[in-house]
Amino acid sequence: MEVNRNITNNNFKIIGDRTINSRLLKNKFSQLTDFDLRFDEGKDIDFLDRVGNRLRKNREEVMDIIKELNIS
């Protein structure tokens, strides 16, 4: 999965098998719901916000988590 970290321009993109990526996040953070992990095309910032709200992390921290899980 490729990640573009330029959130100033809302250009953050998550690319790859979203089902597998969601499963990896859910395995690490069981408090995430299916709704939190829903990927809508072109709504990557909304995804970051939902996951961040559930984990009590900001967007940058969520992007770092994604990179650590090797789904970036």
CB count within 10 Å of CB 68 equals 10
Q: What is the pLDDT of residue 8?
A: 44
pLDDT at residue 18 in the model: 81
The pLDDT of residue 69: 80
pTM: 0.74
Q: What pLDDT, in 10s, does the model give residues 7-58? A: 444 566 676 788 888 999 999 999 999 999 998 888 889 999 999 999 999 9
Question: Measured between alpha carbons, how far is residue 36 from residues 43, 44, 49 in Å?
Answer: 12, 12, 9
